[in-house]
């Protein structure tokens, strides 16, 4: 690590944590007031304010990234977007930095994004309670072996998805699904025998169910590919001022009727949907391979 990186890290880290704490505390405060008030109209006003605070966190965080890194952030979008529409984002997951970048990406273009988060993140300082206040779903992740020992837990994530999807039908919303279910690491990639050189294997169930629950509302699926060329550890490189390039590539996909069906009870639909998501991931992997080479 260079002397420059050693000097930048504590300063940049402190600024990022202060930014997170400031906006996170404001969102939590408004969320508590929203919880107490019994009037739906007042709750909607407060939620709108909280969304602005949430966007402000992402915007300021990316501004800090640009201030501490000699960086180019390339955003490529193939079609015009709107804040008056519903979107489903399917994205690969490389780093926690992905979340900040997606919040900043959404801020001027599309409705506030709702992430499907791991249950453990509820305990993360500022992040967990702020996400709860913003009505984001927390999902429990069970291994296949654990499900086999506790079969009554099968489908719990789907129940959570359904419950939260019902909350999003009244106001334009962006639902973000990290389809791989986990961040990409070389160790996970090897242990799970992913057929994609730069991506984890996609999990089709969650996105299929979201489309089943809200498919008629979604204007488009946004297939977003995030890449950090020349960076093996994006979060640390960013904090140390070593990040040089970030690519956010957005492909707009129409929500076709054949993408909506009963994934868990219709074997024919399940096979077709898995083929569709795997083809999508193959295209994404090709883009990643070209950028990372």
Q: List Cβ neighbours of 52 (8 Å cut-off, separation of 6 or more).
A: none
pLDDT tens digit sequence for 46-59: 999 999 999 999 99
Secondary structure of residue 254 in the 3-state scheme: strand
Specify which residues 118 forms β-bridges with: 139
**Low-confidence winner among 120-134, 218-232, 239-253 (lowest mean pLDDT):** 120-134
Encoded tokens for 131: 């996400």
Residue 162 has pLDDT above 90, yes or no: no
State residue 39's pLDDT score: 87
State residue 158's pLDDT score: 62
In which region does residue 93 sit, left (phi positive, over 0), alpha (psi from -120 to 50) or beta (all else)?
A: beta
Angstrom distances, CA of residue 238 to CA of 5, 10, 185, 186, 230: 10, 12, 17, 19, 12
Calpha distance 237→232 (Å, rounded): 8
State residue 153's pLDDT score: 45
Domain residues for 203? 3-292
Q: Residue 215 belongs to a domain with what CATH number? A: 3.40.1130
Domains identified in the chain, total number: 1
Measured N-to-C along each axis, helices 40-68 and 97-106 cross at an angle, to the nearest 10 degrees, of 120
State residue 146's pLDDT score: 45
pLDDT tens digit sequence for 255-271: 998 999 888 888 999 99
**Low-confidence winner among 38-47, 250-259, 275-284 (lowest mean pLDDT):** 38-47
Residue 71 has pLDDT above 80, yes or no: yes
State residue 159's pLDDT score: 65
Strand duo 245-254 + 218-227: pairing: antiparallel
Residue 4 has pLDDT above 90, yes or no: no
Average pLDDT, whole number, for the chain? 88
Which span out of 34-43, 176-185, 281-290 was modeled with the highest average pLDDT?
Answer: 281-290
pLDDT tens digit sequence for 184-240: 888 898 898 999 999 999 988 888 888 887 878 899 999 999 999 989 899 999 999
pTM above 0.75, yes or no: yes
């Amino acid at each position: 690590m260079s002397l420059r990186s050693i000097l930048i890290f504590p300063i940049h880290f402190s600024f990022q944590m202060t930014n997170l704490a400031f906006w996170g505390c404001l969102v939590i405060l408004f969320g508590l007031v929203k919880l107490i008030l019994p009037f739906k109209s007042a709750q909607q006003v407060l939620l709108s304010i909280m969304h602005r605070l949430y966007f402000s966190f992402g915007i300021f965080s990316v501004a800090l990234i640009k201030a501490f890194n000699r960086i180019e952030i390339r955003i490529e979008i193939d079609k015009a977007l709107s804040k008056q529409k519903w979107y489903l984002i399917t994205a690969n997951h490389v780093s926690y930095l992905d979340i900040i970048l997606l919040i900043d990406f959404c801020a001027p273009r599309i409705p506030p994004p709702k992430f499907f988060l791991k249950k453990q993140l509820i305990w993360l300082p500022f992040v967990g309670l702020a996400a709860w206040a913003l009505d984001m779903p927390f999902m429990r992740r069970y291994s296949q072996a654990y499900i086999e020992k506790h079969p009554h837990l099968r489908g719990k994530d789907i129940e959570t998805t359904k419950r939260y999807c019902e909350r999003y039908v009244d106001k334009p919303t962006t639902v973000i699904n990290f389809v791989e279910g986990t961040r990409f690491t070389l160790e996970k990639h090897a242990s799970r025998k992913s057929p994609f050189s730069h991506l984890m294997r996609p999990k089709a169930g969650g996105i299929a169910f979201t489309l089943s629950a809200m498919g008629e509302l979604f204007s488009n699926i946004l297939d977003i590919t995030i890449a950090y060329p020349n960076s093996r550890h994006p979060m640390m490189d960013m904090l140390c001022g070593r990040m040089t390039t970030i690519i956010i590539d957005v492909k707009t996909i129409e929500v076709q009727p054949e993408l909506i069906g009963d994934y868990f009870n219709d074997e024919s639909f399940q096979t077709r949907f898995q083929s569709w998501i795997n083809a999508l991931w193959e295209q994404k992997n090709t883009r990643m391979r070209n950028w990372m080479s």
